[in-house]
Structures are given as C-alpha cells and as structure tokens.
Amino acid sequence: MILTAWEIAGCTKNYWCKQSLDVRIRLASAGYLGGDWSYSLSSPKVLYDLPSAMKADSLEISELQLADGDNRVTNCSTMTVSLLTSVYPNAPWSQEDYGDLQVYADRLPGQPGSPIDAVERAGVGERVDVLVPGRWHLVQGWRTFDPSVPRYSGHAFLVLAGDDGDIDQVLEATSLSNIGPRYKEITFADLLEDYPEGLYLAVLNA
C-alpha cells in the first residue's frame, strides 16, 4: 500500500492540514532526502500516493516499502508533483494539472509556465514576478527554449524566500552527479543567470 505524507508523519489528514506550509513541505520532503533516492529522467517514481483524480492510466507509482534502491528514482517535475499534492491534499487536482506540472510536450511552446497555471487553477498559488519574502514558491526555469528545433531544457523546483526577498533555500531533484533530491543555497541573481530563457514563479498559499 502506498502511504500519504501525513500517514508517514504519523498524523491524520486533518491535523496535517492545520500545520504550516513550511512544516508540511519539510516533513514531506524528508522522505526523499538522505541518499536513498537518485535521479532518472525516463523512469521517475513518487514516494506518496497521488490524488485519484490526477492519475493517468500510464502513470507508474512505486511503493517505497516494496522498492529496492534501484527503484527509488525521481526527477524534478515528478518530485514537485508529489510534494505539492501532499502538502495540499484538499486541492481539486486533475489530470490536466498533472500534465501542466510535468510540462508535457503538447504544452510547448505555448505554455512555458504551465506548472504555474496548474497551481493557480488548483487554488494553491498565485503567479508573481518576484519572490515574496518569507514564503515558499514553485519555480519553472528554462535554460534552453528553442521552438525552431525544437529543443527545450527546463527545471522545476521549490524556493523558500528569505526575509530580504532573496532565496533562503531551494528544494529540488537534480541530475547533477545523479544526486537526486536535495536542498541547496543559491541567490536569485544566480537563478536568473542559470535560466536565461525564462523563470516562471508562483507564491504558494501559506
């Protein structure tokens, strides 16, 4: 049986939803950290069960309890989907949201900020141009965005802004050295440099 984030945390869904977003994100992300999980673009898995309305027939969901180390792989968009649906379990998530959060091929080139569309539609976030101090954000960045080839290279992750409006922490699944899920420190100026083809932001509801 695939468990939810609140069940793994040892609490009820009602109690879970009363906790702050920061607490929910840190508890939900803890299961992905610590070195057991790595990165895979082609065969990602999720740790927590997804909402039934979001599941596509072809979506493969692994059970952590039954998986060996080789199966504990995810990627940036898949982990983002898993965390967002876990911290907002009462949102009206849909298969359309899943495709937008994963930036399916048919979303490009017209919807480079499709993950932001998804969280706005679900009512759990709002599109912004700059980071809101002290708040968590969903970010979709593009290193390469060339419809003429076509060639796209993007990355989805969560960002906690500090009180000064710059980045306090980034929570991501990275392909770098097959590290997988991690927290890292970076500045917003660095993000702009790393993703010259666009950054799309949504501040998440507290």
Please return the burial class of 131, using the count of CB atoms within 10 Å of its CB with bins 0-12, 13-18 and 19+. buried
Whole-model pTM: value is 0.92
Cα–Cα–Cα angle for 182, 184, 185, nearest 5°? 170
Say if CB 132 and CB 161 are below 8 A apart: yes
Number of domains within the chain: 1
Structure tokens at 188: 């917003």
| pLDDT (0 to 100) of residue 66 | 39
pLDDT of 70 higher than 80? no
Rounded Cα distance between 161 and 202, Å, is: 12
User: Tens digits of per-residue pLDDT, 132-160?
Assistant: 999 999 999 999 999 999 999 999 999 99
- What is the per-residue pLDDT for 1? 55
What is the predicted pLDDT for the residue at 62?
Answer: 46
At residue 43, the pLDDT reads: 79
Q: Check if the beta carbon of residue 114 is closer than 8 Å to that of residue 103.
A: yes
Distance of CA 206 to the CA centre of its chain: 16
- The whole domain housing 140 covers 5-204
